[in-house]
Structure 1
Amino acid sequence: MSLVSEVAQPRITRLTLADFRSYTRLDVPISGRLVALSGENGAGKTNLLEAISLLAPGRGLRRADMADMARIGGGGGFVVAVDLDTANGPVRLGTALDGQPPSRRCRIDGAPVSSATAFAEYLRIVWLTPTLDGLFTGPAGDRRRFLDRLVLAVDAQHGARVNAFEKAVRGRNRLLEDPAPDRAWLDGLEAEIAEIGVAVAAARKETAERLAGLIAEERDDASPFPFAVLALEGDVEGWIGEGPAVEAEDRYRAALRNGRARDRAAGRTLVGPQASDLVVRHGPKDVPAGRASTGEQKALLVGIVLAHARLVARMSGLAPIVLLDEIAAHLDQRRRAALFEALDRLGGQVFMTGADPALFAELPQSAQIFTVTPGRVEPFSGEG
Structure 2
Amino acid sequence: MTSIDPQMRGADPRVAGGRLTVDLDALVANYRQMAERSTPAEAAAVVKADAYGLGAGPVVAALVAEGCRKFFVALPEEGLAVRAAAPDAEIYVFNGLFSPEAASFYREGRLIPVLNSQTDLAIWEAHGWDDGDTPRPCALHVETGMNRLGLTPERTRILAQENALTGALTPQLILSHLACADTPAHPMNRQQLESFQALCALFPDAESSLANSAGIFLGGEFLCDVTRPGVSLYGSNPVNDTENPMQPVATVQARIAQLRQVPAGGTVSYGATPVTRDTLLAVTATGYADGYHRSGSGAGVPLRNAVPQGACGFVDGERVPVIGRITMDLTLFDVTDLGPDALQVGDLIELIGHNMPVDDVAMACGTISYELLTSLGRRYERHYVHGGDRI
Give the structure-1-normalised TM-score. 0.29
Higher relative contact order (CA 8 A, sep 6+): 1
Which has the larger helix fraction?
1
